Amino acid sequence: MLNQNRLRIAMQKSGRLSYDSKKILNSCGIKINLTKNKLIAFAENMPIDVMCVRDDDIPGLVIDGVVDLGIVGENVIKEKLIYDKINYKKNKYKILKKLDFGICRLSIAIPVNNTYNGLLSLNNMRIATSYPNLLKKYLDSKKISFKSFVLTGSVEVAPKAGLADSICDLVSTGATLEANGLKEVKIIYKFKACLISNNKIDYVKQNVVDKLLTRIQGVIKARESKYIMLHVPKNKLEQVVLLLKGAEKPTVLKLVGDNTKVAMHMVSRENLFWETMEKLKLLGASSILVLPIEKMME
Ligand code: PRT
Ligand code: ZN
């Protein structure tokens, strides 16, 4: 039974966002037991229930208040926001936080053998897409006239099937375009998964939302950051700090039995690339360790 006092979150049941959605909730300390055929899972340690559904159903569930929060692609939300605006529908939800997965882009692609000389090449084309509103918003802003041909799936086969001259679809690796004899000519929007929320959340649930948001923030920051440890010749400290851009102020510690070097520890917002490690080595640094960070709170 659903308990009205518990925060309800919808996520994709199976698909591109399901693994990472589950992972981020787990990393936030929400203990859920999601088995294959379960629609809903109740967290044991927090007043949170997780509902697993098709991604297309998530905005509706949030709008209707069946769930309070949803994890869904920004592409789905942005397309819907434009649709709602055109149809004078009131927004009953908002984007709370952009997440760090589900990264993709909405691009225009044309057959590989066709020439492309900028957006004007698209004038009067018939473009197959599942995102007619986003496509229209972009091409209208560039004053390009076109006809959209709306398909909910297999958009990439439309040119071969003679249904359209080009397509506008989500791309991540580009393999699907290549396999269908298409080339990406224009990225029009970039997207990530995001956390959306119903506009009306009561005071008790809002406390849970605030806690969850702080934890999500911490998980994302930790995933972006690295803990770096190394031994540095004392007279090269300043040069080493200059090389470690994106790093917070380092801690410097004495080394037992070595007066020429010190140990430096720091958190870096960026990964430490091999090139930088090689430069550090040339400055005399040694024992360079780059470690992942599991959790962070500032
Ligand atoms: O069953 P359900 O309705 O829940 O899932 P779905 O099939 O509608 O969605 P799904 O799982 O394919 O995608 C869910 C979300 O993942 C999308 O709304 C996006 O926010 C995000 N995402 C990230 C992507 C991609 N990358 C992506 N590459 N969604 C779709 N694609 C498709 C694209 O449409 C094309 O067919 O993958 C193909 C291209 O991929 P590449 O790697 O060949 O370029
Ligand atoms: Zn879907």
For residue 13, which atom of ligand 1 is closest to its CA?
4
The verdict on the CB of residue 73 being under 6 Å from ligand 1 is yes
Angle at 100 between CA 293 and CA 251, to 5 degrees: 25
Mean pLDDT of 250-269: 94
Q: Which CATH number fits domain 7-102+193-222: 3.40.47.10, 3.20.20.80, 3.40.190.10, 3.40.50.11400?
A: 3.40.190.10
Ligand nearest to the CA of 12: 1
The verdict on the CB of residue 16 being under 6 Å from ligand 1 is yes
pLDDT of residue 38: 80
pLDDT of residue 215: 96
pLDDT tens track for 191-234: 999 999 999 999 999 999 999 999 999 999 999 999 999 999 99
**CA–CA separation, 9 and 66 (whole Å):** 9
Q: Which helix (H) or strand (E) holds 89?
A: none
Class of CATH domain 104-191:
alpha beta
Which residue is it, tokens 């948001």?
213
The verdict on the CB of residue 67 being under 6 Å from ligand 1 is no
Angle at 17 between CA 159 and CA 182, to 5 degrees: 20
Helices (H) and strands (E) in the chain, counts: 8, 15
Ligand nearest to the CA of 167: 1
User: Looking at the predicted structure, is the pLDDT value of residue 18 above 70?
Assistant: yes
* Ligand 1 pocket: which of 13, 14, 16 to mutate (most atoms within 8 A of CB): 16
3-state secondary structure 231-288: EEEHHHHHHHHHHCCCECCCEEEEECCEEEEEEEEEEECCCCCHHHHHHHHHCCCEEE
Mark the residues whose beta carbon lies below 5 A from ion ligand 2: 55-56
The dotted CATH code for 225-292 is: 3.30.70.120
Distance 203 CA to ligand 1 centre (A): 35
Angle at 212 between CA 208 and CA 218, to 5 degrees: 150
Domains 7-102+193-222 and 225-292 in one fold = no
The verdict on the CB of residue 174 being under 6 Å from ligand 1 is yes
pLDDT of residue 270: 80
| Domain boundary assignment for the chain | 7-102+193-222, 104-191, 225-292
